Amino acid sequence: MIARANPGAYCLGSLVHNAAVVRELAEIGVKTVESVDRIPDGAAVIIRSHGESKEVFRQLRQKGCTVIDATCPNVERIHQIALEASGQDRTLVIFGDESHAEVIATQGWANKSVVCGNSERIPEYLCDLEVTAVSQTTANVAESKKFFENLKKCCTNAIFCDTICSATAGRQDEAARLAQKTDTIIVVGDRTSSNANKLAEICAGVNPNVQFVSDADELDLTKLPKDSDSREILIGITAGASVPDQLIEEVKKSMETKDTAINETVAAPAETVELNNTQASAAVSAEEIFDDLLNENFKTLRTGEKVSGIVTSVSPTEVTVDLGTKQSGYIPVSELSDSDLSPDEIVKVGDAIEAFVTRVNDVEGVIMLSKKRLDANKNWDGIESAVDTKDVLEGTVIEENKGGVVVLVKGCRVFVPASQSGLPRETPMTQLLKQKVKLRITEANKAKRRIVGSIRAVANELRKENAVKIWEEIEAGKVYQGTVKTLTSFGAFIDIGGVDGMAHISTLSWGRVKHPSDVIKEGDQIEVYVIDFDREKKKISLGYRKLDENPWLKFTEQFRESDIADVKVNKIASFGAFAEILPHVDGLIHISQIAPNRINSPRDVLKEGDEVRVRIIKIDYETQKISLSIRAADEPWEEDAAEDDDIPAAEPVTDTLAEESAAE
């Protein structure tokens, strides 16, 4: 085999929208190409923060490329929304720039998509579609809101998703506020950067003195205002997310060479920051203040670092945190807590919060955080001590693993082997997913980050406790919630919470039952009542059919001897025909009571399914037998007719058909 030379690293399109950064990357060997065709097989490929379509990922897999996916988490969320919309046959409507890499990539995750770049122009055909609306993560916040409002007027059934990056939204708000308070504002950013262009647009909307520069060379010092004797001049600086610290430093130094002193300088590389006049007039020089701001805002955070900050906004999908750095921190709702509470029930704006850094994205100027992981680290000691104390803990089953399940307990992953799950052998573990369970920790190895638990141990103890309580309080007629464990030909074994009882097939239904599976299935949760029990032999007889649904009781409430009833013939025998008076209540029409004249066989007159009118000529309440007569239905009734010796005794109501079938 001939070893192939390392083809190097490639990036599909500019990794960041900043020419200086792209040049630096090229110098260290990161090649920028515009199509997959120009990437050699087996090369390492960096997916930039704007993301790529499903098709691009497929092509890279076919070429055997190593993919380094740096897609922004906010963009990934839009891709997920696009997939969900496609699964529901909805059209994805994107508010943004149709030529922007992020928007193009997003369209590649939707089966049907429309891009709208003007908040005032809503295509009329959208009114007839089921749409899901999103925004480009770097879209103008105000314009995006306006677009959503206009779309609501057209599409009454639209689903709206707030997908603008929280860092972008915060940066735009601060830039507008800063532009209002300064004489001149300088926006540093590349012309191809969407978020930098939006900052320039927003600043220009409130301040006519805006300079949009990509580096210090483009700064026009002659356009900067000069100090006057009457007041100090205030200059603001803000920058796009992809602007390197060095460029901002160079712009600042370029202004320092200007003859006119700058009494107050405001720097805002990622989140705009301002100084008031009181601060500017302090003894500290403007240059020292500026340097302090730079040092504070350019503080670098690393993955795994513990940080603290202040909650600045709370949405259904994430919590934004001010970390006192140039990057904006955010906690996805999945990394906030294990509870079912909504984010605004867990934290409030202004709360101090601690978290772990899980991902740093300098390109977009955001830091992904996890409060849940920090909580798990804090809870580890409690998990370890539970091994010795044998405390019962509660958690949620989050995934099925090879050989068992994983339970999230206080933010820690606990592995529960299948043998300790409490489920019967061969039972799918999937039925435990998303269920809250109680378990005992049997092993905790911090060095290996391994925790093992047992659901069965807790379940067995609870079962024993319940069994003692059941035998102390059991009585005939008492109702229990039970679980069907096993079915047999003669009945079902039912767990009533610690003790197994037996429900005979005859007690499952008031109708005919060939097998218990006709009525119930294994695993069913059902309500049963105690018919009889034996404490010494530990046996319990259970019933499932409802006593108040007893068809015999319904019959005796509705009918008396001599009443006329319309019945349906459902079985014919040599001695007569059985007819249904009410569901599960049959009576016997003896051959002698079918016709006014003698007949050789009931089939000479009747067939199964016939509906006939009969008179109830005899009811035996003790044996629950009913005798019927077609002949007597049209004749005057005599009180002693029921005593006619020619009329044979009827068969039991609920057993007649079963006995007849057995005889056949």
Close Cβ partners of 435 (under 8 Å, ≥ 6 residues apart) = 396, 397
Close Cβ partners of 39 (under 8 Å, ≥ 6 residues apart) = 10, 12, 33, 45, 60, 63, 65
Q: Decide: 615 and 564 in contact? Cβ < 8 Å.
A: yes
Give catalytic residues, as residue numbers: 102
Q: Decide: 330 and 353 in contact? Cβ < 8 Å.
A: no
Close Cβ partners of 319 (under 8 Å, ≥ 6 residues apart) = 311, 313, 330, 331, 333, 336, 343, 347, 353
Distance, CA of 421 to chain centre: 24
For residue 447, give the 3-state DSSP assignment. coil
Of the CA atoms within 13 Å of residue 51, those in its CB half-sphere come to: 23
Measured in residues, the chain has a length of: 664
Cα 274-204-225 angle, rounded to 5 deg: 65
Which residue in 204, 208, 205, 213 sits closest to 240, CA to CA? 213
Neighbours of 337 (CB within 10 A): 18
- State how far the Cα of 527 lies from the Cα of 170, in Å rounded to an integer: 57
Q: Decide: 282 and 251 in contact? Cβ < 8 Å.
A: no
- State how far the Cα of 330 lies from the Cα of 368, in Å rounded to an integer: 5
- State how far the Cα of 377 lies from the Cα of 411, in Å rounded to an integer: 8
350 backbone dihedrals φ, ψ, rounded to 5°: 100, -15
Alpha carbon distances (Å) from 413 to 246, 387, 446, 650: 43, 15, 12, 68
